[in-house]
Amino acid sequence: MATNPFGTTITSEDILDTLGFFDSWEDRYKYIIDLGKELPAMDDAKKDDVHLVRGCQSQVWIDARRDGDRLWFESDSDAFIVKGLLGVVLAAYNGKTPGEVLAFDVENYFRQLDLLKHLSPTRGNGLRAMVSRIRTMAEEAGTVH
């Protein structure tokens, strides 16, 4: 999973810094869509009901695997902007321990990004559903040793 830049070469701090350079939300959206193009391809076999995130307007799939004490997430969507939002989320969570995932203040991260007020309510709900799925996976991984 070293080919996944999110959480390694693209961190939540990087995204915050880069978004700060853009004056318009149109430019920020373009950057977020470009982030989605960095997502590694997800195996089509994992694009099933088991990995499907409920509550998203678009189709979103997330899987997790544990490597030592770290979690690595694999994800995909059928919508370009949602792929970018997955990148924003994975930058914060990929390569972290289950405890770090659960301790991360995602609401503050979203506040700093100024993101939720620029998304439709259904996209915002979908973003929260993605985070909820990742947190559930971290809780489950934290109980398995």
Q: What is the pLDDT of residues 83-119, one digit of tens each?
A: 999 999 999 999 999 999 999 999 999 999 998 888 9
CATH of domain 12-143: 3.90.1010.10
| Closest alpha carbon to 41 in 85, 95, 89, 83 | 83
Taking each helix axis as running N to C, give the angle between helix 12-21 and helix 25-37, from 0 to 180 degrees, rounded to the nearest 10: 140
Going by pLDDT thresholds of 50, 70 and 90, the confidence category of residue 57 is: confident
Residue 5 is classified by DSSP as: -
| 81 neighbors 33 (Cβ within 8 angstroms) | yes
Residue 52 is classified by DSSP as: B
Half-sphere exposure of 7 (CA within 13 A, CB side): 23
Going by pLDDT thresholds of 50, 70 and 90, the confidence category of residue 2 is: very low
Residue 79 confidence (pLDDT) above 90: yes
Identified catalytic residue from 15, 35, 56, 64:
56
> For residue 144, what pLDDT is reported?
61
Domain residue ranges of the chain, discontinuous segments joined by +:
12-143
Q: What is the CA radius of gyration of the chain?
A: 14
Task: Mark whether 56 is an active-site residue.
Answer: yes
Residue 145 confidence (pLDDT) above 60: no
Residues forming beta bridges with residue 64, ordered by sequence position? 73
Residue 58 is classified by DSSP as: S
Q: Give the pTM.
A: 0.93
Going by pLDDT thresholds of 50, 70 and 90, the confidence category of residue 1 is: very low
